[in-house]
Amino acid sequence: MGTVITWWGHATCTVEDSGVRVLTDPLFVRRFAHLRRRRGELPPPGAAVADAVIVSHLHSDHLHPRSLSRLAPGTRLLVPRGAARSVPALRRLDARGNPAGLRITEVEAGDEVKIGPLSVRAVPARHDGRRLPFGPHISPALGYVISGETRTYFAGDTGLFDEMADAVGPVDTALLPVGGWGPRLGPEHLDAERAARALTLLAPACAVPVHYGTYWPIGMDGVRPHEFYTPGDEFVRQAAEHAPKVTVHLLRHGESARPEAPR
């Protein structure tokens, strides 16, 4: 059957493996806060169909309650430890207090959760994962490794760190952020060059660049526009230089890739 990865924009992907659909950091709105979607149609209703959803950290472009409310009642939702304390709207979505809610499980790095035939393992990320602008530092930013017929690493948001390869372990496909939603990235993010360097640490067979070319601040269309449009192509170029054995699937919004299963 193999694995199918669909990129819906920003950090939102569907990973389908062994007949199970895992959705990452769902964001299904045209505009929120100071950001608007500048490229790609909104994901269709079918994008919200998932057996499980994983949320990497509490920033509002990754943990978005209004988007989570579109999930079917009873959907399994994995969030960083302490998320419900920081995001009251998340508590209102919990099936324990809402019959039409979600089955929420809080996790931290090292935790492993079974989703049917899949195993989902939380791994560390180097990123300020609190609910901004004033949230307490109680929730770690996470990545996840989804293991079934293949092993898929969803990095969420992270900077490079020396222990990345040991923390993540062997993977077949890496979904890596290569940009952002604004004209500048801090050190706790991957740009195209740092993401390519991450490939040299992780040594996956395939990679899919995400977290770029979707949302941009309102009124800043002319500010450093290359940071919006070029990270995907730049990642392809940097990956060819740093990790030429890795196959890069450069997807448009709504497109899918079928990474090769490990031999």
> Would strands 118-124 and 142-147 be described as parallel, antiparallel, or unpaired?
antiparallel
Q: 45: cis peptide before it, omega within 30°? A: no
Burial, 133: exposed, middle or buried (Cβ in 10 Å; 0-12, 13-18, 19+)? exposed
Distance separating alpha carbons of residues 146 and 171, to the nearest angstrom: 9
pLDDT at 81: 95
In angstroms, the CA 185 to CA 14 distance is 25
pLDDT score of 261: 65
CA distances from 122 to 3, 57, 77, 79, 240 (A): 19, 11, 13, 10, 29
pLDDT, tens digit (0-9, with 9 covering 90-100), for 95-142: 988 888 999 999 999 999 999 999 999 999 999 877 866 666 779 999
* Ranges of the chain whose pLDDT falls below 70: 1, 132-136, 261-263
The pLDDT value given to residue 133: 63
Q: Say what the pLDDT of residue 262 is.
A: 65
Q: 9: closest CA among 51, 46, 37?
A: 37
Tokens standing for residue 225: 């526009």
Mean pLDDT of the chain: 94
Residue in this structure with the two tokens 């997807």, named with its chain if needed: 251
Q: What is the model's pTM?
A: 0.96
